Structure 1
């Protein structure tokens, strides 16, 4: 185990093994990101002596999240003065964008405890306040006025569960925005396309350097 990390020192591990860099499609925001996913995953298990950790999704700026962040920064009226939730937040990119757009309150959730730590570090680096939790919020309604979900439709079970919950929030009046680069289980028939971007991504993760990614609004 390294001197800088312990099972409880996720922040120390993140700071040691990532670099603070501007987000390619939203350079107003900087994130602590990793250069290589598999190597970071192995280091996480080896240095913290924890086996079976989820992949470090928190260490990268994914295409759907970059699209959502860009949209919120370019259309601040969506989040301004509102209560915003960034679901399955990962790095906290979209939550940070919402805060920069003037949201009254921003929450971010991710069931990975490393992501929660990364969200806190990244929010601090960008000078904004984000309340992060590792709770699974699916099925709950805490009065969010805007709910953002980036890259959540890559797996059937996750997509179906999330979309059913997000649909209920939309039906009662929440603005539900989904950022997605064409994942397999995106229910396009239930969505309204708002904007499409050409988003720079990590080739090792996406098998491409540019990913066409859209922001969608979930229909009521």
Structure 2
């Protein structure tokens, strides 16, 4: 099962045209996106898939729910982006493009996460349902952290650190709260990061096609 999941997720990661971001452009299309950018999310997803058949929550195996902060902390990176915008700290991309990649990234993330939940039917540690793998909370949090990183990495690395710290705390709390195994949050983190990178890859193509269609003259009959 884990081997099949790794193959499916690998195909998902590599089935998109990959383009790189160049300095000064909003969402550029000039160079091919380096595949090394997918090493981290692929490692997380692969690690989660490898652990799927060996569920573990150590060192939280004997603990129950400890905090409901994960319900809110998963949106922390998104909140930080809004706060930075309000403070007048501009992201690397235009506002319209930022909104578009945020929506598309979450659509990609939600589609992948929900598809796997419906396919794998992994039981949660507390036995409440069979929608444990992958963690949706971790996927949302790491999608937000990667979006924050892409938008503000040109300003300060500490902004990225703050976003990923909130995402990591969300994942750890999901395990500590008896809602997920480590496999679930690892896969969710990888899916979240990969969804943003995939969106940054395909968005220029979508935008260019929409612009070309908009510029086409209407044929009068």
Q: Which has the higher strand share?
A: 1
Bigger Rg over Cα: 2
TM-score w.r.t. length of structure 2:
0.29
Higher relative contact order, structure no. (Cα contacts within 8 Å, ≥ 6 residues apart): 2
TM-score w.r.t. length of structure 1:
0.29
